[in-house]
Amino acid sequence: MKPVRAVLFDLDGTLVQTREASWRVFAKTNAALGLGINSQSEFFRLLEDNMFHGLQKHCGDERRAEEAGRHFLDLLQREYNPEVVPGMADVVRAFAGNCSLAVISSNSVATIRRILDREGLTHCFSHVFGGDVEKDKRACVRRFLADRSYLVSRNCSPAYREDHDPELPSADQIALVTDTVGDIRHAVECGVRAIGVAWGMHSEQQLLAAGAEFVAVWPQELVAQLLPDGFASSCALGTLTEPNACCGNGGSHCNCGSQHSELASAAAIRRGRRMAATEALDKRTARDVGSCQARDVPSIGRASSADNLLLNSLRRLRGSERPPIH
């Protein structure tokens, strides 16, 4: 299998937790327009196809389906604010250091932008296709297959790399990661790799039956399956040890897509203060130990001489008036 060069993420149920959040919003659309989709399970069945196609089939009227879609998207922009699936932010950053990323969703671009901005993931993604831009996800996948410029990466900044000239990808170098049967079927139809996740709308068994190559049970399994070097190739962890090496300054070789320069600087200051305090304590302790050794302090019972010296040093540091142990 060739290395993956583009990963296309569904949003709802894949990147963010949506089973309850999306149904609560859609229930308002259902009530307002009298769609007759009165349970969560009925709503999930819409997603066995593209959601907009599912609405058309259910309504049997294109105009009514479009009205329902607009009403739902409008509510999503105003009321939908789901949490990111635990661990998925790190997974996205790992992929951002290795390939071009996109979000392909039935949700609106404005909603996707709000969520990615909130999580500091906006510049991990080279492209975002919302339902208000392109309702058919197959058309989005085919753009990546037909136009190599979609594989140009961003270096974790608003600008796209001007020196990046990727080759046209083969279908097995593009993966669609999703939680719905409809998306899996569309990925298979387009010939790209269809990857399922088990924490969203549809079960592992349903996704495999629809043609998923595999279904991830944990977010990190996506990295294990699609990135041979795992998290090691991501610079997201660089902020813990070298805040200025990559993410901290948003440099041209930053791979993680998360530009928290102020946080990295603050962390570096705190780390420097802790190290200085530790060094000062080490010096004082060494001085006290040397002083005690000069007085040849004996040990008591099973306690070692070093233990007693440490107790004496701590008492002096605390300003204790009690005499030291002899």
**What is the reported pLDDT for 285?**
56
Per the listing, tokens 């233990």 go with 307
Phi and psi (nearest 5°) for 29? Answer: -65, -45
**What is the reported pLDDT for 301?**
46
Per the listing, tokens 């629809």 go with 210
pTM for the model: 0.65
How far from 18 is each of 13, 21, 91, 100, 105, CA to CA, in Å?
Answer: 5, 5, 18, 25, 13
Residues 6+ apart with CB under 8 A from 129: 102, 103, 104, 105, 109, 137, 140
**What is the reported pLDDT for 296?**
54
pLDDT > 70? residue 150: yes
Q: CB of 35 within 8 A of CB of 60? A: no
**What is the reported pLDDT for 238?**
36
For 209-235, the pLDDT digits (tens) are 999 999 999 999 999 999 877 765 444
Query: Dihedral angle at the C-alpha atoms of 268, 273, 276, 278, nearest 10 degrees?
Result: -110
Query: Dihedral angle at the C-alpha atoms of 42, 45, 15, 139, nearest 10 degrees?
Result: -140
**What is the reported pLDDT for 8?**
97
Percent of the chain with pLDDT over 70: 70
Reported as a pLDDT band with limits 50, 70 and 90, residue 281 is low
pLDDT > 90? residue 118: yes
**What is the reported pLDDT for 247?**
37
Q: Distance (Å, rounded) from C-alpha 168 to C-alpha 165? A: 10
Reported as a pLDDT band with limits 50, 70 and 90, residue 157 is confident
Q: CB of 6 within 8 A of CB of 99? A: yes
For 257-274, the pLDDT digits (tens) are 334 444 445 445 555 665
Q: Distance (Å, rounded) from C-alpha 94 to C-alpha 9? A: 14
pLDDT > 70? residue 177: yes
Which comes out higher in pLDDT, residue 218 or 239?
218
Reported as a pLDDT band with limits 50, 70 and 90, residue 2 is confident
**What is the reported pLDDT for 275?**
60
Strands 174-178 vs 6-9: parallel, antiparallel or unpaired: parallel
pLDDT > 60? residue 298: no
Cα 242 to chain centroid distance, Å, stands at 21
pLDDT > 70? residue 255: no
Phi and psi (nearest 5°) for 193? Answer: -70, 130
